Amino acid sequence: MKIIVCVKQVPDTAATMAVENGNISWGDAPLIINPWDEFAVEAALNLVADQGGEVTALCLGKEEETEAIKHALAMGADAAVLVSDPALKGSDNVAASKVLAAAITKIGEVDLVLFGQQSVDTDTGLLPVQVARLLKWPSLTLVSKFEEVTPAENSLQVVRSMEEGNQIIKSLMPAVVSVTKDYGEPRYPSFMGIRKASKAEYPVWNLADLGIDLPSSSISWPEVNEPVEQEIVTEIIDGDTAEEKAKILVEKLIAEKVL
Amino acid sequence: MTKKILTYIDHFHGKVQSSSWEALGLAAKIAADSGGEAAALILGEGVNDLAEQAFHYGADQVFLADHAILKDFRPEPLAELIAAAAGDYQPDVMIFPTTTRGRTLAGMAAVDLESGVMVDVIDLDWKEDKITATRSIYGGKLLAKLTCSTSPEIITIRTRAFDKPEPDSGRSGSITNLEVSLDPADQATTVMDIQEKASGVSLTDASVIVTGGRGTAINPALTPPDDLDEEGADVWKAEQGFDLIQNLADVLGAAVGASRAAVDAGYIEYDHQVGQTGKVVSPDLYIACGISGAIQHLAGMRSSKVIVAINKDPDAPIFNFARFGLVGDMHEILPPLTAGLKAYLEG
Ligand SMILES: Cc1cc2nc3c(=O)[nH]c(=O)nc-3n(C[C@H](O)[C@H](O)[C@H](O)COP(=O)(O)OP(=O)(O)OC[C@H]3O[C@@H](n4cnc5c(N)ncnc54)[C@H](O)[C@@H]3O)c2cc1C
Ligand SMILES: Nc1ncnc2c1ncn2[C@@H]1O[C@H](COP(=O)(O)O)[C@@H](O)[C@H]1O
């Protein structure tokens, strides 16, 4: 099987975010692979371990943004592609998905494209379905389990989650799948994996390499702000016993009219 | 400018996600302010009677497709119909609730209609000609204002961020039936089975949430059975802790949440996780029990109206975000708290 897994590089989730002169800053916090994407890499590696084939990590980002790719390679991905073009700065989701779709087409003969559930920086969760729509492939979102994968029949069956429960869905391949945390813990990169990844070479494609023009963007972000911190007055509830504290809290909650 | 607003009514086998009505309420407000019109889009099987509800919640007009091919959620056929309906109606704005399905379909609509989508919006300004949407990014650490330069402007709204209107049973409107010419043989996907969850209170809809963290398992007063290993004993203790949380939730009609530490340790399913890599919630009341208040947890619940923290460590960061703090052992505090609230609510 040929599997592509899309990985993004983001600031550490523990970073303190700030806006300086209109630019978003995360101080000296490290950059990491989008945590959701580790589940997708894990799934891709397991599928290939079962079925044979290869995993290619695909990242769209700045040329110096190598951490997500390195992490995917260190986990065990066979190859990687970075798509980078200064013209893409400020692209919205639809534009980014057009670029990713073009890269997927250029890589070619793909059975599955795996995504994380969403980016922890922009929190949108749109690229998987948008890429699928552009490629005219079925999109299977929020998948926690691959029940059956039959490359010979170009089909797979997965468990997908929704608010009300799970859906067991069978689909033709090629398909796009976004993988959730319920899939299971991603592996830690091995020492050997990290060494291999640090030496790995991979192509960097720009828009000309993909043979596409700069896709237009509809969405712009004229303004980013740090949220106005609400002044929270914390009232510590005192009492000699647990019963007494509970009793006072009940009274406070009644007064606060939130019951 | 007159705005035509098309709202997607998300439902599961005819059971409407209440954020759909919040979306329709918002649409009706924008329509009222701009002298425009609110239309609702209802797609499914056996969904005819949802049209009437949509009128009650503010729709002037309903586009409806009731067809067997739409019985189970599959994004592709729905996206086809949404694109077709938008092509006919030419809305200026499309609103989806940010449910799992709404997010998917809005993303697809943006591609199909060559526009863009502003997702999980928490505030909206439509006084100018263009809509300005506010959404939180970086797990709520920053707020971004967004605009969309193409038509339709597509947005998905966060559950509970906008008011659900009071239904007005006197309202009605016109229904347009959409033609469904999808061929079942052309569909790439087949829904084989559905495993419905036991219907508890859903986290994202809940107005009250009680959450448990690692503290659920820290109770020296309990002696686990001998035959359990350390991990098993931990889970066994946590089960009793979560029983206390469930009892309180039952009394309050609340949903049960959990920290990632509790989920990772196997105390409770991931479905309950609140936080940056779990669910983002904003209930009226959030009671955090045995939770330290890590930044990734706060990302999921900071916008709750009133936060109560129960933690035995007076220096736990969660207290900085709480309206009320109780320093103490959750296992001792929860039973009398539950009893006290029960007495009040039943009395
Ligand atoms: C990429 C990433 C994503 C993450 N996403 C999430 C997320 O979505 N959600 C999330 O919650 N976390 C998330 N985390 C984890 C987060 O950093 C914390 O580790 C986690 O929230 C801690 O959970 P906790 O508060 O239950 O446990 P702890 O931090 O161990 O805190 C337990 C608390 O319980 C108190 N306590 C102990 N016993 C009792 C008792 N008997 N009575 C009262 N209080 C007691 C202790 O004083 C302590 O404050 C993420 C981390 C990373 C790196
Ligand atoms: N710049 C990117 N490069 C590669 N993959 C990405 C990029 N941005 C997002 N993705 C993938 O798309 C998923 C959803 O992202 P988003 O739609 O941005 O929330 C992520 O989990 C990644 O798998």
pLDDT in tens, A14-71: 999 999 988 999 999 999 999 999 999 999 999 999 999 999 999 999 999 899 999 9
Res. B201 pLDDT band, cuts 50 70 90: confident
A170 contacts on B by Cβ (under 8 Å): 189-192
Q: Strand B142-148 and strand A219-225: pairing?
A: antiparallel
User: Would you say the C-alpha torsion A126, A129, A135, A140 has a positive or negative sign?
Assistant: positive
Integer Cα distance of B320 and B303 in angstroms: 14
Share of chain B above pLDDT 70, in %: 99
CA closest to B72 among chain A residues: A167
pLDDT surpasses 80 at A236: yes
A4 lines ligand 2 (CB under 6 A): no
Which of A138, A219, A233 lies at the smallest CB-CB distance from B76?
A: A138
Average pLDDT, chain A: 96
- Please report the pLDDT score of residue B205 as a whole number: 87
Burial of A152 (0-12, 13-18, 19+ CB in 10 A): exposed
- Radius of gyration of the CA atoms of chain A, in A: 22
Under 8 Å between Cβ of A94 and B111: yes
- Please report the pLDDT score of residue B178 as a whole number: 96
Instruction: Tell me the best of A42, A119, A124, A221 to mutate to test the pocket of ligand 2, counting ligand atoms within 8 Å of each CB and taking the most.
Output: A119
Which of B132, B149, B189 lies at the smallest CB-CB distance from A171?
A: B189
Under 8 Å between Cβ of B130 and B109: no
Closest C-alpha to B209, from B111, B136, B142, B282: B282
Residue B172 phi, psi (nearest 5): -150, -175
- 8 Å CB contact of B142 and A247: no
- 8 Å CB contact of B138 and A120: yes
CA closest to B334 among chain A residues: A246
Average pLDDT for B130-144: 94
A258 contacts on B by Cβ (under 8 Å): 208, 284-285, 305-306
Pick from A131, A162, A230 the residue to mutate for testing the B interface (most B CBs within 10 Å): A162
Q: What is the pLDDT of residues A84-121, one digit of tens each?
A: 999 999 999 999 999 999 999 999 999 999 999 999 99
Share of chain B above pLDDT 90, in %: 93
Residue A21 phi, psi (nearest 5): 50, 40
Q: What is the pLDDT of residues B281-291, one digit of tens each?
A: 999 999 999 99
Q: What is the pLDDT of residues B216-240, one digit of tens each?
A: 999 999 999 999 999 999 999 999 9
CATH node for B4-186: 3.40.50.620
Under 8 Å between Cβ of B217 and B330: no
- Please report the pLDDT score of residue A259 as a whole number: 87
Distance A75 CA to ligand 2 centre (A): 18
Q: What is the pLDDT of residues A71-87, one digit of tens each?
A: 999 999 999 999 999 99
- 8 Å CB contact of A222 and B145: yes
A190 lines ligand 2 (CB under 6 A): no
- Please report the pLDDT score of residue B200 as a whole number: 72
Per DSSP, what are the bridge partners of residue B99? Answer: none
Ligand 1: nearest atom to the Cα of B277:
8
Three-class DSSP category at A57: strand
Average pLDDT for A128-155: 97
Q: Are domains B4-186 and B208-346 of this chain identical in fold?
A: yes
- Please report the pLDDT score of residue B79 as a whole number: 98
- What residues of chain A, 38 to 77, have a C-beta less than 8 Å from chain B? none
A8 lines ligand 2 (CB under 6 A): yes
Integer Cα distance of B89 and B12 in angstroms: 25
- Please report the pLDDT score of residue A148 as a whole number: 96
Residue B327 phi, psi (nearest 5): -85, 120
CATH node for A2-210: 3.40.50.620
**In chain A, domain spans:** 2-210
Ligand 2: nearest atom to the Cα of A130:
17
pLDDT surpasses 80 at B1: no
HEC per residue, B256-301: EEECHHHHHCCCCCHHHEECCCCECCCCCEEEEECCCCCHHHHHHH
Integer Cα distance of A203 and A210 in angstroms: 12
Average pLDDT for B165-170: 96
- Please report the pLDDT score of residue A205 as a whole number: 98
Integer Cα distance of B116 and A130 in angstroms: 11
Share of chain A above pLDDT 70, in %: 100
Res. A231 pLDDT band, cuts 50 70 90: confident
Q: Which amino acid is at A36?
A: W
**In chain B, domain spans:** 4-186, 208-346
ipTM confidence: 0.92
- Please report the pLDDT score of residue B128 as a whole number: 79
Peptide bond into A174 cis (omega under 30): yes
Three-class DSSP category at B58: coil
CATH node for B208-346: 3.40.50.1220
Under 8 Å between Cβ of A30 and A9: no
Counting ligands in written order, which one lies closest to the CA of residue B326?
1
B188 contacts on A by Cβ (under 8 Å): 137-138, 171-172, 175
Structure token digits, residue A62: 């700045």
A137 contacts on B by Cβ (under 8 Å): 188
Chain centroid offset of residue B166 CA: 19
Average pLDDT for B265-291: 95
Asked if A225 has any chain B CB less than 8 Å from its own CB, the reply is yes
Integer Cα distance of B240 and B247 in angstroms: 11
pLDDT surpasses 70 at A252: yes
Average pLDDT, chain B: 95
Integer Cα distance of A187 and A179 in angstroms: 15
- 8 Å CB contact of A24 and B252: no
